[in-house]
Amino acid sequence: MTDQLYYDSIDLLRDLIASPRHSRHETEAADLLEQYMCRTGLTPMRLHNNIIAHIGEYVPDRPTLLLNSHIDTVPAASGWTRDPYSPDIIDGRLYGLGSNDAGASLVSLLAVAIYMHHHPGLHERYNIIFVASAQEEISGPEGIQAVIPTLPHIDTAIVGEPTNLNPAIAEKGLLVIDAVITGEAAHAATGLGVNAIYRASDFINQLRNTDFSPISPSLGDVHLTVAQIHAGTKHNIVPDRCEMVIDVRTTDTCPNSRVLDILSANLPQYITLAPRSTHLNASSIPEAHPLIQRLVTLGHTPYGSPTLSDQALMPWPSFKLGPGLSSRSHTPDEFILLDDIRHAQALYLTILSHLNL
């Protein structure tokens, strides 16, 4: 990699940080990214706020690698002690919303894509497509979901997310369920009625003890959280309705459909479960894949990730790899180490050069 591409990518990331790009509001940042790609010699295509580019000549009979990371961010959390949209560099750290998640991965993958575009001999055995996706943080319909039907066959994807440059070879899925527990209203002083909150309490204990075996070797057990509860209208009325939101992080051995079947089995009539969606399933890639083996040889450790990304929507083998720490995402005073960006670009280039997919 040239130093100029590294420095250009830092400037690009700073410009992105200074352009608020919350999910569904990425237009300004997508414009900025598209213009930058044009200046570097790429020919980007635009679909909503997704930016797509073929790297070098596309040859139909070659395998194809997808490089993907996302443009958007969550809104700034409370607790920031600095302007989240001010891309300040202090002691080797670049601060700003989306610097870690996933701006550093985005600009690092793009820098390597640009380099490979101008050095086609490095990927003469396979095609590369670069996609900067929108609406990742909300799994929105105008994000990677809209892009996937427009792409040719993809053999493997690298998804740029903060993984401390270790390959996340498996990722938990997400199942969000709206639960309604009903009872019978009565005056609180009478001792009559059926309290929906009490029924909900019993159901919560049942959820906490649900068996979701078998346990996944790479992702561990299914993780279930009752995240929201709403019930009651007045202090003197026995509540006849309790609403809950249940967050379930699913695995490759217990996917969304199986979790829903387990939770729905033998439910009493006073409990109803309604999944918001079932398509965000767990994903994985074999550890024997040549890209993963290259990373292992270089001293990087595969692991299973509990967090969700665009990987959940991809119908092909994929894994996450990028600079930064997942634990730093969505936190006040988010930052990325500049050295991590340099290391990421060098690593991406090393594993992609002369790859045989």
In whole angstroms, what is the distance from residue 29 CA to residue 258 CA?
A: 39
Q: Start-end ranges of CATH 3.30.70.360 in the chain?
A: 173-275
What's 249-285 look like in SS3?
EECCCCCHHHHHHHHHCCCCCCEEEEECCCCCCCEEC
Beta bridge partners of 90: 93
CA distances from 65 to 54, 61, 111 (A): 10, 13, 16
Kindly state the greatest CA–CA separation across the chain. 82
In whole angstroms, what is the distance from residue 249 CA to residue 35 CA?
A: 38
In whole angstroms, what is the distance from residue 50 CA to residue 132 CA?
A: 6
In whole angstroms, what is the distance from residue 285 CA to residue 209 CA?
A: 30
Residue 239: what residue type?
A: P
Q: In what order do the strands lie in the sheet with 223-231?
A: 223-231, 241-250, 173-182, 271-275
Tell me, which fold does domain 173-275 have in CATH? Alpha-Beta Plaits (3.30.70)
Q: pTM of the predicted model, to two decimals?
A: 0.89
**Tokens at residue 273, please?**
């479960």
In whole angstroms, what is the distance from residue 164 CA to residue 158 CA?
A: 14
pLDDT digit string, tens, across residues 231-241: 999 999 999 99
Residue 48: what residue type?
A: H
In whole angstroms, what is the distance from residue 18 CA to residue 16 CA?
A: 5
- Identify the pLDDT of residue 218: 87
- The residue among 135, 148, 51, 175 whose CA lies nearest residue 309 is 135
Q: At a CB cut-off of 8 Å and minimum separation 6, what does 115 contact?
A: 1, 2, 5, 122, 349
DSSP 3-state of 108: helix
In whole angstroms, what is the distance from residue 249 CA to residue 246 CA?
A: 10
Tell me, which fold does domain 3-171+282-352 have in CATH? Aminopeptidase (3.40.630)
CA distances from 104 to 22, 293, 334 (A): 16, 24, 12
Q: 321 with 295: CB under 8 angstroms?
A: yes
pLDDT digit string, tens, across residues 137-162: 999 999 999 999 999 999 999 999 99
Q: Start-end ranges of CATH 3.40.630.10 in the chain?
A: 3-171+282-352
User: If residue 159 lies in a helix (H) or strand (E), which one and from where to where?
Assistant: strand 156-159
CA distances from 49 to 35, 40, 68, 134, 159 (A): 13, 19, 14, 6, 18
Map tokens 């600095």 to a residue.
Answer: 82
- The residue among 13, 4, 2 whose CA lies nearest residue 338 is 13
- Identify the pLDDT of residue 1: 59
Q: End-to-end CA distance of the chain, in Å? A: 22
User: Which regions in the chain score pLDDT beneath 50?
Assistant: none
